[in-house]
Amino acid sequence: MQQRTFIVVLFFYLLSITALPAFDLGIEVKEGARRLLSQMSQQVSVAELGTLPVGFEVIEGDSYRGFKIHQGKLEIRVHTWNDDTGLLENYQRSQEEGARIVAAVNGTFFSSRGVLGSVVSDGGIPADIYQSPGQLSRCFVASFRGDKDRQTWYLGETSLTGGNLLGLGFKERGWFNISSVFASHCDNLLGGGGWILRERKDVHMEAYERQRFRFSKADQKSRKTVIAQDSERNLYFLVFETGNTFHMVARTLVKDKVFARVREAIFLDGGSSSAIVVKGKYLVPPLYMVDRARFTCIQILVPDLTW
């Protein structure tokens, strides 16, 4: 029934834009279809999620939805897989295996062969996926372990790959959004991303120029999975809906009061890959009604001592 409704709505939408030139028409159709599918997706209400763990907050606005996690209350983990299952199914798998998982967010860019970014999971380089990070310096979200096994979080940028991310030199050769990283070793990292905000300044053009991301005109306004960090080291995992450019995302992060302390923000894979699962339900459902997140995701875990 939902698919039939979409076809009817799309038909009348196409009739309304046929006066556009052919090139603009193609872009308009693509953007319009994405907007319609986004509006038709079934979103769970916050009330339906029930009780959430301490340190976990759902955040939503006119153009975005996601959550915030507080440093010291929860942990992040990079999860990998190598089949055609999506975000929700891998959430359920981890839950069945005993993980104290509360949420999951789609990961970095990928091709049919594997991941287009660096990955560290559980303190090592995962052997179950093929990594092709390239030589360009790209953004990452990472966690480090320090005294008393406490996990700390960072956003940053590096061109290092593979085992070099596990050595002591990573802390000196990579750029981190803090003056010094005191924790001893990197236990999780997901790279391949691009800049949106740094020191509260809109730097998204660096993603196009220096980091050499290439997006079609239509894709520049597609869904965006965004990770931000504030001055208290808390992390924000957000999906901005179709119609938002990177400049618009940066402006929202600077102007909305809920992001008043946010300093840095990066983007990972977006479009049809963007999705967020919380407590086994889609907080942000897949754009095309099919879960297309592949190979990597960021899981939010509740440590045993704080559950």
Q: Could you report the per-residue pLDDT of 237-260, keeping only the tens digit for each?
A: 999 999 999 999 999 999 999 999
Report the distance separating Cα 122 and Cα 154, nearest Å.
16
The stretch 122-148 carries a mean pLDDT of 92
End-to-end, the C-alpha distance of the chain in Å comes to 41
Higher pLDDT, 17 or 64: 64
Cite the DSSP H helix spans in the chain.
2-16, 22-40, 87-96, 169-173, 205-208, 246-255
Q: How far apart are CA 128 and CA 81, in angstroms?
A: 7
> How many Å separate Cα 257 from the centre of its chain?
21
Instruction: Output the average pLDDT for the chain.
Output: 88
What would the mean pLDDT of 160-181 be, rounded to a whole number?
A: 89
Give Cβ neighbours of residue 88 (< 8 Å, ≥ 6 apart): 104, 275, 277, 280, 282, 291
Q: Provide the pLDDT confidence category of residue 13 given band limits of 50, 70 and 90.
A: very low
pLDDT (average), residues 187-205: 97
Closest CA relative to residue 129, chosen from 157, 109, 153, 147: 109
Which pLDDT band, with edges at 50, 70 and 90, does 40 fall under? low
pLDDT of residue 305 exceeding 90: no
Q: Cβ neighbours of residue 47 under 8 Å, at least 6 residues apart?
A: none
What was the pLDDT predicted at 257?
98
The residue among 173 and 85 whose pLDDT is bigger is 85
What is the model's pTM?
0.87
Q: CA–CA separation, 93 vs 280, rounded Å?
A: 11
238, two tokens: 């957000």
Q: Which two tokens stand for residue 276?
A: 């967020």
Looking at the DSSP bridge assignments, the partners of residue 175 are 157
Exposure string over 272-298, b if 16+ CB within 10 A, otherwise e: bbbbbbbbebbbbbbbeeebbbbbbbb
CA gap 112, 72 in Å, rounded: 37
Q: Is 45 exposed, middle or buried (0-12, 13-18, 19+ CB in 10 A)?
A: exposed
Q: How far is CA 123 from the centre of its chain?
A: 20
| Residue 307: per-residue pLDDT | 38
- Res 30: pLDDT: 52
Torsion-angle region of 108 (φ positive above 0: left; ψ -120 to 50: alpha; else: beta):
beta
Of 162, 143, 145, nearest in space to 153 by CA:
143
